Structure 1
Amino acid sequence: MGTRTNVERRTVLKAAGISAVTLGVAATGCGGNDGTSADGNVTIRYSWWGAEERAKKINQSIALFEKKYPKIKVKTDFQDYPSFWEKFQTQAAGGNPPDVFQNAVGFLRKYDKRGVLLDLGSQIDAGNLSLDHFRAGVVKVGQVDGKQLGVPVGSNTMALVIDKKVYEKAGVDPTAGWTWDEYFKALKTIHDKTEVPGDTGYFSIMYLYDLYLRQNGKAFFTKDGLGFEQSDLTEWWTDGYGRVKAGIVTSPKVVAQDTPKSSLSAGHGASEFTWDNFTVRYTAEGTSDYGLAPIPTTDGKDTGQYLASLMLSGSARTKHPKEVAQFIDFMVHDPAVGKIMGYDRGILATTDQYDAFKPTDVVQKEIAQYEVDTAKAGVLGTITPHPSGADTAESAFLRIGGDMALGKTKVADAVKQFFSEAQAAFSA
């Protein structure tokens, strides 16, 4: 799920080139047996995407799990985001996916359709996995058609990250309930007073467009396909192209040149829509002060926001569903794991871990407060269903939107291309 979501996935996770062996953990192999040794020990394979820091934290957590369950051993494997899914798709097609793995909402229907995902309902009924003590609304993110296909490890919601110094210099003070017209006016004010583009490229962020559509009674996805018309996207991308040409939005050429940094932290944009827990990257990359601002609205109230989540899923082919369930249960409930992981994968999903971890730095405190304030505002709704092929549609939206903004293709042609590629993805 998204920073520009794509930039976060491409860059921050790029550091994950480190191998499991480097971390002193056995690398995942394609075992020919069921992972049970002669002495009754069971080995399960766990894969995820993320950077080196996430890997260190996860391995610390696994050490605690193996101490509590000495007969269960966990072999690990991780890559950056694109490499993870490339490898996972190959493993799934070959009938050898990992026993348990990190997952996201855009992949649930896709891999459920292919019979890859374990319905955890039976393990919940057996008492091996508890769905108690989760923060309100989070568990539903992992549910599809009555099946529990994933268990959230953290939650996040879309936010607007701003360069506080630039906003203050321009005299712009975003407040809850501000409208899109006010937001776009603010972008121009920022550009006119500071010569910095007001936004780094809102128009190609699928999850942001979903919020805009939800504010207007539609949605990016239905459970079967797209929930909007070509005319809707034509209007959105036409406005975005116009603002790039006017210099109010950062040129995609500059965004590409700034990679692997964000154009916000590089000083080439004053704000960027992203998931709230990604805010930590800007402080690490940039030299300014960064904060969270409200999502603009259509009616002055409804933001269209919902809680999304990274989650843990099991393989339908695992020989050890009980052990997989016990592992997931431990990783989402154990307070010590919560203290180790912090907000690396979002605001901790269970109250057991949320209460155990007390953020000490300013950025993580602000992230937590943002979600508290958003929940209190009563604007959070239910996440939009994602059809099989949603991940491919998201990538196409980003790529084609970028080409459109560069003038490589006309808006009308870009819209037609996106709808064609999206429909093909849904039919695959």
Structure 2
Amino acid sequence: MIESWRWYGPLDKIELGEIAQTGALGIVNALHEIPYGEVWTREAIAARQTMIADAGHGQKWHVVESLPIHERIKRGEGDLTELFANYRQSMANLAAEGLTTICYNFMPLIDWTRTRLDHPLKHGGTSLRFEQRQICALEMFMLERAGAENDFTPEIVAQAKQWYDQSTEDDQTALIAAIMAGLPGAYERYDVTSMKEALKLYDGIGRDDIRSNYARFLAEVIPAAQDLGMRFAVHPDDPPRDIFGLPRVMSNAEDIAWVFAQQDAVENGLTLCSGSLGANPANDVPAIAREFSERIHFAHLRNVAKDADGSFEEAAHLDGDTDMVELVSVLLGEEQARKEEGRADWELVWRPDHGHELLHDIGSGTHPGYPLIGRLRGLAEMRGVIKALSHKNVQFS
């Protein structure tokens, strides 16, 4: 398995030399400074590759994460001809520069969502956390979303009202800032007022509509990916449930099967994110990986610990609810099968995902969820699992 590291380019506080010291020489990157819908030029792509190469550490840009999808495509709004043409041109430009794997998501309006970025850990350090009472307070009492109370239990509604009544303006500002933290680069951030307006654009758009718009997107890009020799890898919803009244359509095995059925081609594949899928109590992540192993083109390895009320937090990679040893065994087994088929691209690219802020990470200003030391810990733990399972006497799942 190819070790990689998400790097935010010039926006990142972590330098390529520091990443090289972790031992991960694969780079996962995107041109985050380019807004939705605009073409990624060959010149801009090549400049980023040159920046990585000129650092002199032997690093290589392996996966594009992400080539963002314009919100109008998700809403199916207006004439989308130019947006689809721009997207395909960006694909062609990436392929021309040797980049053939694109990680993306189809989450409406908001990317990964947490309510706190600095939840304290028992022995020091902090983690990301998703708290049901706070998301309920935001939806019901700050955004005043009609019908929000129907999406939560009476117990959570009562806790949300208590939190809201006791919260300060700073508490509420911190909550909305945490929600916005999942949007990297040139993505629009919202305050409460602008988020209310943004949500209005999705009024009347239901699950079937989102699925229809997603199917159209796949029909527009997967044939182009086949022509270009590219692989698309959809990232699951995070959290894997509807949120803010917006339908999410990539949350479980049924959703993954639906996505693959829209364009039944190997180019239409999956980013296996163990943390996103693992936040749904109904998901057996190793079983999902086993079922769809042939279509996994990229992997995010992390873990979560879930509460009974639907809250969850980022756990250490080997300490959460998902059996990461079993999961890695599935991935190694798929690698072995691809190697035996004689495929040149048999190795799976993976990266340690969200890490705890530990030691000198705290206060360093790195992207939320993407500290140096915390991810290094995750990388080292998963590296050990991979090494142990790769021993000649171990049988893969």
TM range (shorter): under 0.3
TM superposition score normalised by structure 2: 0.24
Bigger relative contact order, structure 1 or 2 (CA pairs below 8 A, ≥6 apart): 1
TM superposition score normalised by structure 1: 0.23
Could you say which structure has the larger radius of gyration? Answer: 1
